[in-house]
A and B are shown apart, each in its own frame.
Chain A
Amino acid sequence: MSSPTDFTLAGARDALRAKEVSAVELTEAFIGAVEAARPLNAFVTETPDRARAMAKESDARIAKGEARPLEGLPLAIKDLFCTKGVRTTAGSNILSNFVPPYESTVSQNLWDAGAVMLGKTNMDEFAMGSSNETSAFGPVFNPWRSRTSNAKLVPGGSSGGSAAAVAAQACLAATGTDTGGSIRQPAAVAGIVGLKPTYGRCSRYGIVAFASSLDQAGPMTRNVRDAALLLRAMASVDPKDSTSVDVPVPDYEADLERGVKGLRIGIPKEYRIDGAPPEIDALWAEGVAWMKAQGAEIIDVSLPHTKYALPTYYIVAPAEASSNLARYDGVRFGHRAKGAHDIADLYEKSRAEGFGREVQRRILIGTYVLSSGYYDAYYIRAQKLRSLIADDFTQAYKKCDVLLTPATPGPAFAVGAKTADPVSMYLNDVFTVTVNLAGLPAISVPAGATADGLPLGLQVIGKAFDEATVLRAARAIEVAANFTARPQPWWRAA
């Protein structure tokens, strides 16, 4: 091992327990990597002092033989998770100085498991975006570059900072949140693993809300085992979140290597879309072949309402967001405009100054679709479609155990390439949004690369609360794909 930052999460855990490395050494190495990765702009806030203090405590615990599951493991936290005493911005100007007096349940679970916080990662503003370009703190750059160009590429979004930080080995793993693909899409284009758990698996308490019925936290890691390890620590039923579900959290790692022999893998025909690069379909076909070779049964299935998923999503998510973001009014916390002459003026100025264009666009869309006279035509119809989309999966799961699809319609694209056209940006989530609408678990796992060397992912979608099978199938892909390429650390030279 050339550097402690080369560890996987599980590898570092084992090395710490074997006392091959100390938590302080590990943490110092990552604090250095975070600093070195600054050109990527992956972090909004670095917390080296807190990291050192936590690492010290971890070493003490390890010495006493009291190591917890994630003892001494340095993680990055998406800046959507409220962290007590540490600024939490949601990538927005309106929260640029917001320091929460409370901790999100998911991050609390991680600290309770002994993890070390390196900092808060950059993200699309309020998690609205697929390229990390809507952040008020500037874009994040993908550690990966094309072999044929030095153009800076996006890391995907909205969890772009987390994806970049993991891919650049600036942390062992990171948390993300996924409302329409915000974990899986950046994971795919940054060559890492990203898992969106079943809705209700992880508590939403303390996570700045975007679209409450879709938001779900999940792990972003270097490999599938790490995702299993991190998910187990993040997940919990939470009395503070009425939508969290009391289903036992299994030891996902235990089952990981069982293979896919006899597993029925559904291939939904609707995920073959016109205009996608041929590499996407080719990778998908390869994935099917790998699974077949490992003894899985391949079954063709249909999810007939897939084509309505994106429009449905762009009604449901903005509708909820328009209401969720009403609290940012400049009255109690966050940005307050100066010189307002009355309360309406205060609202208008504070929100106009505090929210970026994409957020404003979605608030307007959401307000529109909920307005009297439009509610039935948009919101109610979208809810009906949402049920139909969920039912598509129910029907498919009568024939198969998991579904295998591409994760994204293409690789990472250049910064600025899609910012002028929101719809082309929204299309990045075409393979991922259905899963959020249906509340199901899904993982993106690195499976190959474009001719230019940019990573591509495959997606495994599972039944509700069956993350174990999703992880097992993803592990089989990981083994077969043997994707070991790493980005050249160009940012260190910068």
Chain B
Amino acid sequence: MSAGAPKLLKGDTGEWEIVIGMEVHAQVLSNAKLFSGASTAFGAEPNSQVSFVDAAMPGMLPVINRKCVEQAVRTGLGLKAKINLTSIFDRKNYFYPDLPAGYQISQYKNPIVGEGEVTIDLADGESVRVGIERLHLEQDAGKSLHDQHPDHSYVDLNRAGVALMEIVTKPHMRSSEEAAAFLKKLRAIVRYLGTCDGNMDEGSMRADVNVSVCRPGGYQRFRESGDFKHLGTRCEIKNVNSVRFIAQAVEYEARRQIEIVEAGGTIRQETRLFDARAGETRSMRSKEEAHDYRYFPDPDLLPLVLERAWVDEIAATLPELPDEKKARFMALGLSAYDAAVLVAERETADYFEEMLKDGAEAKAAANWLNNEYFGRLNKAGLSLAEGPISPKANSAIVQMIAADVISGKIAKDLCDIVWNEGGDPRAIVESRGLKQVTDTSAIEKAVDAVIAAHPEKVEEVKAKPKLAGWFVGQVMKQTGGKANPQAVNAILKTRLGLPDEG
């Protein structure tokens, strides 16, 4: 595990490092909003899920939703973070039509969750730790619609008051790859926990990405001293809503900043927008234009006080998380890469484990999924859940390969059949005579027949043992692909008098 190797960017005047921190807004998975009983279901008719509290009608008061608090605690525990038994809700005051009360209830100085960490896995197999600064609960705002009428704006308050977790990282990411990997991993964790559905398309998860650049060594000095002066001025890219866009936005923004600094300019601390179509970031507002939010504790809500025992109860029901699962899979003999692929989504890990439960050996099952089945799904554009083959069926295929009942080649044919026609793989093998021939006398017969029919090839292969493959092919053809390849090889070697390694 490393502290994150910097990916150096080359500028005209030398090399640069990127430093990235993130604020992720994750919508809490709950039936009701943070402070009202209104529904949180996605895609409802505009303004059909708005309580009097959400619309900030006179005299209405917020009442905290226990489920949302539980979800925040669960997430905090999943991030290996400190749970603050006392936290405080503040009002963040600003005027906007989709913010009915004129303030957002959020947690400013005393969040429900303190420091934690997330371990991210990079493509090269390296793991990097990203520190979590805090997690707090807050209300989402509604949505302004400016494209519904030539001279009116419409407001949809369905989202207003929905619970969000704002998860703030430390500036511990060093490349666009790490930023993307972090968001992926965080998404996996909350999905494992069942605290956020992670649907970035529906806005359930979106990230504000803080990017700055510094000369090599600056970041190290920052980590040693905690002093931000060693880092460059950061810009915040708001509301990036896909893993791919995060990588693009970081790359673009870092390049932009390097160009400005190298041209003798200075970076303005500002909020920027990522335009996915143009692939660039654009200025939204500068620090000077920033709002004065006039935070103060919400007098309608008492401090949120949790009981230790309740937190412990939640901790006891935490599922196995990706890192633990990965370690367990590796202990079963999987490579770090294979294990990482399988744990990236809970559904995938569950599928894999179903196969094991059904009798498949771990490594063989992992190889089959990673090398065969996932490829087919990708090609067909299907998710695992949409795929036509059950874990039980895939498990049967893997077990038949392992028991030499079918060859790897037959397994692929069998997979085609099950994919297209369904059915029990074992029954198909039986009924269609796909069983591998391990009866040596039958294979010997076939080998002898091929040798007898091709004396010229026998001579060639003696001079060039590599050509034995041709004989293997012929024997397989004769046996309809059912001959056990190892047995074919062994018999061929004896009959042709080839050396052991060829």
Contacts and interface: CB of A to CB of B under 8 A. Distances in A.
Nearest to B157: A332
Interface string B42-64: 00000000001001111111111
Nearest to A211: B299
Contacts of B101: 326-327
A225 B89 CA distance: 40
Contacts of B295: 370, 375
B145 interface: no
A184 to B, nearest CB: 21
B143 to A, nearest CB: 14
A367 B294 contact: yes
Nearest to B291: A372
A213 B298 CA distance: 9
Contacts of B294: 322-323, 367, 370-372, 375
Nearest to A89: B58
B58 A205 contact: no
Residue from A81, A239, A243 having most chain B Cβ neighbours under 10 A: A243
A347 interface: yes
A439 B296 CA distance: 19
A90 interface: yes
A332 B63 contact: no
Given A102-B52, A326-B95, A379-B296, A82 B63 contact: no
Interface in B66-112: 91, 93, 95, 97, 100-103
Of A205, A212, A242, which is in contact with the most chain B CB atoms at under 10 Å from its CB?
A242
B58 A242 contact: no
A1 to B, nearest CB: 38
A365 to B, nearest CB: 13
A204 interface: yes
A85 to B, nearest CB: 14
Q: Most chain-A Cβ atoms within 10 A of its Cβ — which of B58, B62, B97, B302? A: B58
B155 interface: yes
Contacts of B95: 326, 329, 344, 347
A154 interface: no
Interface in A451-468: none
B399 to A, nearest CB: 57
Interface in B264-300: 292, 294-296, 299-300
Interface in B117-159: 153, 155
Nearest to B294: A370
Interface size class of A (residues with CB under 8 A): 35 or more
A95 interface: yes
B301 interface: yes
A333 interface: yes
Dominant secondary structure of chain A at its interface with chain B: loop
Contacts of A82: 58-59
Contacts of B299: 211-213, 243, 320
B32 to A, nearest CB: 14
Contact of A88 (B58, B153, B155, B292): B58
A42 interface: no
Nearest to A206: B59
A209 B64 CA distance: 19
B58 A370 contact: no
A326 B102 contact: yes
A426 interface: no
Interface in A325-366: 325-327, 329, 331-333, 343-344, 347
B34 to A, nearest CB: 13
A208 interface: yes
B102 A370 contact: no
A437 to B, nearest CB: 13
A329 B292 CA distance: 18
Contacts of A101: 52, 57
B150 to A, nearest CB: 15
A401 to B, nearest CB: 28
A371 B296 CA distance: 10
A384 to B, nearest CB: 14
Nearest to B99: A326
A50 B200 CA distance: 52
B56 A327 contact: yes
Nearest to B153: A343
A242 B93 CA distance: 21
B158 to A, nearest CB: 14
Interface string B303-326: 000000000000000000000000
Interface string A218-256: 000000000000000000000111110000000000000
A377 to B, nearest CB: 14
Contacts of B55: 332
B103 A242 contact: no
A333 B64 CA distance: 25
Contacts of A290: none
A327 B62 contact: no
A100 interface: yes
Contacts of A327: 56, 58, 100-102
A98 B60 CA distance: 14
Contacts of A375: 294-296
A243 B300 contact: yes
A204 B56 contact: no
A319 interface: yes
B100 A104 contact: no
A242 B296 contact: no
Given A102-B52, A212-B300, A242-B301, A323 B91 contact: yes
A309 interface: no
Given A213-B299, A240-B63, A242-B62, A102 B57 contact: yes
Nearest to B55: A332
Sorted from nearest, which 8 A-B pairs have the closest CB atoms? Answer: A326-B102, A370-B294, A212-B299, A213-B299, A327-B56, A206-B59, A208-B58, A82-B59
30 contacts: A88-B58, A90-B58, A101-B52, A204-B59, A204-B61, A207-B59, A208-B58, A209-B300, A212-B300, A240-B63, A241-B63, A242-B64, A242-B300, A243-B301, A320-B299, A323-B91, A323-B102, A323-B103, A323-B294, A326-B95, A326-B101, A329-B97, A332-B55, A343-B97, A343-B153, A367-B294, A370-B296, A371-B294, A372-B294, A375-B294
Given A98-B58, A332-B57, A367-B294, 11 more contacts: A101-B57, A102-B57, A206-B59, A206-B60, A242-B62, A322-B294, A323-B102, A326-B93, A326-B102, A329-B95, A343-B153
Interface of A: 81-82, 88, 90, 95, 98, 100-102, 104, 204-209, 211-213, 239-243, 319-320, 322-323, 325-327, 329, 331-333, 343-344, 347, 367, 370-372, 375, 379
